[in-house]
Amino acid sequence: MAGAAASTGEGWSSRTAFVLAAVGSAVGLGNLVRFPAEAGANGGGAFVIFYIFCVCLIGLPILLSETLVGRHGQSSAIGSFKKVAKESGASGWWSIAAGVGMVGAFLILTYYSVLAGWIVHFIGIFIGDTINAIGANTLTNGALADRSVEDVQALLPALHANSTQMLLMHAIFMAITVYAVARGVTGGIEKVAVWLMPIFFLLIIVITIYGAFNGAFGAALAFLFEFHPSRLLDPSVQLSALGQALFSLSLGSALMITYGAYAARDINLAKTSVQIATADTSVAIIAGLAIFPIIFATLAPLSLQAILDGTEQVQGGLGLLFVSLPVAFQAMPGGSIIGLLFFIMVFFAALTSSVALLEASVSWATRRFNQPRWLVTIILGGTAFLIGGWASFSFNSQADFKPLDFIIFADQPVFGIIDELTAKILLPVSALLVAIFVGWVADRRLIDSENGLSGGMHRTWLFLVRWICPAVIAIILLTGLFPGLLE
């Protein structure tokens, strides 16, 4: 069956293509870099449990809300919102929900591509290393055998010190993204997802099995699922988990509205929402189960125990992927090839997300300014490249430039500010407005005709969208932003 918006030549060619593209957008650096880093920084179990709570009670209902507004609206995120608002007799200003999200998606793209550029850089390192190992017939040994541990630990700092290289890798990644988006929904975005996502799933399974056999799997399980109840009540852990749940499902960023608009009428959106959320959450957890066993395997027993007890922290943040992991690959059998496969896997996940991040604003701007897709894509991609390039100086010359040194931005350079601003403010605000709009403002018959739900499931969904989502997001936003409120 042809895509829903066939009149404009835009639309998924099948239900599978829609699900793969949506899962491709959801599964990305958020699952593979941000989730393990946040789980590590927020004490493991407490964060993971609150994260799953947020996915089920907030993420899933909002995912359905966003896709249904898009499918009914058949336009860009903002256009779709306007149309549904108008048909419901409400103000077109509600489209601000999509506007905030679209700005969020665009800002995420700026730094996302910088990070993905680091992945490209590490793919290069591991390709060279694999070739060396093949030549020396040492493929079953650890990776990077010709370097000391200190040298491996210095790979990321060395990249940070080298602005030219960082900008070059960022440019390569952005160029690939622009190329795919410029080719259109069916001809570019869908193809990327349909080809890369199956390979991605194969790779992550191979790496997880490898980690289970060669790494400290039990310790990783304990770290991710044993929780310290006291941390569960910490508002900053809650805000992080909520932000991460929205970020990881690509919610509050106009995207699921945009992708929903390309979905055919006969697709059951409730069902696909469950599939998308399940796939994304599984990948986050599996990523944790792939990464932590490998990292924990190289830790001394005492410091591992301290991490499990919560008295010490995992080296969190980006160091997890770009420092701890390469060190671990150095010590593990077949490290070169596993390292190479690992970074290729992350690259595939990043690309299916970056095309979506760009599409959120491209789909709006092509209509708004009535310009050809390729031109709009190049202009928006180019602008995102420049902003991201500037943010990349946060890792060298502008590391001490912290223009907004307060609340969640405290001590953050530009790069971190964009991340915090999007995940902890823009995405939650957009999601909050979506929930209020779909729950209270939009015409009920219109909503009911799109959501594919009936009976008890329908009542549960409506209850979550009307009461739980707005209340929980509002409370978490306020207490997370203004920690003093609780005292």
Contact positions vs ligand TRP (CB under 6 A): 25-26, 28-31, 105, 108, 247-248, 250, 253, 255, 353, 356-357, 360
> Which is closer to ligand TRP, CB of 297 or CB of 351?
351
Minimum distance from CB of 433 to ligand TRP (Å)? 16
Minimum distance from CB of 145 to ligand TRP (Å)? 32
> Which is closer to ligand TRP, CB of 106 or CB of 217?
106
The single residue listed with the structure tokens 């915090």 is 420
Q: What are phi and psi of 463, to 5 degrees?
A: -60, -45
> Which is closer to ligand TRP, CB of 68 or CB of 108?
108
> Which is closer to ligand TRP, CB of 357 or CB of 432?
357
How many angstroms separate the CA atoms of 146 and 149, rounded?
Answer: 10
> Which is closer to ligand TRP, CB of 48 or CB of 332?
48
Minimum distance from CB of 182 to ligand TRP (Å)? 17
Minimum distance from CB of 108 to ligand TRP (Å)? 5
Minimum distance from CB of 87 to ligand TRP (Å)? 26
Handedness of CA 406, 409, 412, 417 (dihedral sign): negative
Minimum distance from CB of 283 to ligand TRP (Å)? 9
> Which is closer to ligand TRP, CB of 29 or CB of 477?
29
> Which is closer to ligand TRP, CB of 26 or CB of 48?
26
> Which is closer to ligand TRP, CB of 421 or CB of 462?
421
Minimum distance from CB of 94 to ligand TRP (Å)? 20
Minimum distance from CB of 312 to ligand TRP (Å)? 27
- Find the residue with minimal CB distance to ligand TRP: 30
Minimum distance from CB of 154 to ligand TRP (Å)? 27
> Which is closer to ligand TRP, CB of 75 or CB of 298?
75
